[in-house]
Amino acid sequence: MHHRYRLFVHVCVFVLIVAISYDYTYKPFETNETFSNEVTDVTKNKDPLYNEIKTKSAEYEETPENAVIHKVWKKIPGRNGVKVNIEKSYEQMKKNATFDESLLVYEQVPPEITMDDLPAAPIYRGNPNKNMVALIINVSWGTEYIPAILNILKEHQVKANFFIEGKWAMENTDTVEMIHGQGHVIGNHAYNHPVMSRLSKQDSLEQISRTNEILEAITGETPQWFTPPSGDFNDQVVGAAAELDMETILWSVDTIDWKNPSVSVMMNRVNSNIHPGATLLMHPTSSIKEGLDSMIGNIKEKGYKIGTLNTLLSAER
């Protein structure tokens, strides 16, 4: 019995000694990543190419622009800045061991203030440094011209923004489905083309929310953009749209197509007024049916991309 007890004590002492002396940090089957990273960093920092990229990167950086409320243009979206990813750029260039501007890898830097941070205000245009324009087509009549307009947009692979009146949508569900099915953005153009600035807040809310319900029932999506009929609004109207989580959209270039201008008159008007970040207003009219093809061609020739409001008003470059 005494012998067994002594044996037990010896075993305990042995286990304790092994436990104390065991080096838990030693892992023979794992590579020391930190060490190899440190070696790589030292090697990189001694490489003149790496240091050249590091030094020159500042020349290629652009600071982000915050979204602002402008005294004339009201709410203007911000724009992402850009900086050089030094590590990835180095990886691209080290094979040839020479600095090559075309192999620089960039990252976008978001602004601190976005449109969501700003109070409710109308939006007339995109960021003035964005070489993109958006086509806004307000629809409460002109049904017969829509198929031809959609075909022209399809040929040019252009997506437009159709702001649709609720009452018209109810009577033309197939056309709304066709517009939505071709990937265009569907916006809200109130229910029955009222003079919005004369309505009570409750009536404004009713005009917008009723139209949203109709458009959502047809497309399965709730619109996020609202355009007041005839561009008529006041702060109360903008506030009503904001309560429904919607931005109020106006425009910076007007085709005045409803006056039935000749194609050349309309083209001259657009060409002399188009600008970076422009929102271009039109309706389903014979003038647009006749002139849209060359209008899109001209806009693209001037170096502008044509995008949806979602793209135009994002901070993405």
Tens of pLDDT along 27-86? Answer: 544 455 554 555 567 678 889 999 999 999 999 999 999 999 999 999 999 999 999 999
What percent of the chain clears pLDDT 70, i.e. is strictly above it?
Answer: 87
Mean pLDDT, the chain, rounded, equals 92
Is the pLDDT at 302 greater than 80? The verdict is yes
Tens of pLDDT along 119-150? Answer: 999 999 999 999 999 999 999 999 999 999 99
First-residue to last-residue Cα distance in the chain: 84
Taking a C-beta distance cutoff of 8 angstroms, is the pair 115, 67 a contact? yes
Backbone angles phi, psi at 93, to 5 degrees: -95, -20
Separation of alpha carbons 168 and 161, rounded Å = 16
Taking a C-beta distance cutoff of 8 angstroms, is the pair 317, 79 a contact? yes
Taking a C-beta distance cutoff of 8 angstroms, is the pair 288, 149 a contact? yes
| Homologous superfamily in CATH for domain 132-312 | Glycoside hydrolase/deacetylase (3.20.20.370)
Tens of pLDDT along 76-122? Answer: 999 999 999 999 999 999 999 999 999 999 999 999 999 999 999 99
Is the pLDDT at 22 greater than 80? The verdict is no
Select from 113, 108, 43, 107 the least CA-distant residue to 78.
Answer: 113
| Predicted local confidence at residue 28, as pLDDT | 47
The residue whose two tokens read 């958006």 is: 134
The residue whose two tokens read 């039109």 is: 282
User: Residues 6 or more apart from 306 whose CB is under 8 A from it?
Assistant: 132, 133, 134, 135, 156, 158, 159, 296, 299, 300
pTM given for the model: 0.83
Beta bridge partners of 139: 164
Sign of CA dihedral 195, 265, 143, 222: negative
| Predicted local confidence at residue 234, as pLDDT | 98
Domain ranges of the chain: 55-115, 132-312
| Predicted local confidence at residue 38, as pLDDT | 56
| Predicted local confidence at residue 179, as pLDDT | 98
What is residue 186's three-state secondary structure?
strand
Tens of pLDDT along 169-223? Answer: 999 999 999 999 999 999 999 999 999 999 999 999 999 999 999 999 999 999 9
- 249: Cα within 13 Å, side-chain hemisphere: 34
Amino acid at 265: V
Is the pLDDT at 14 greater than 80? The verdict is no
Separation of alpha carbons 90 and 299, rounded Å = 38
| Predicted local confidence at residue 45, as pLDDT | 85
Is the pLDDT at 24 greater than 80? The verdict is no
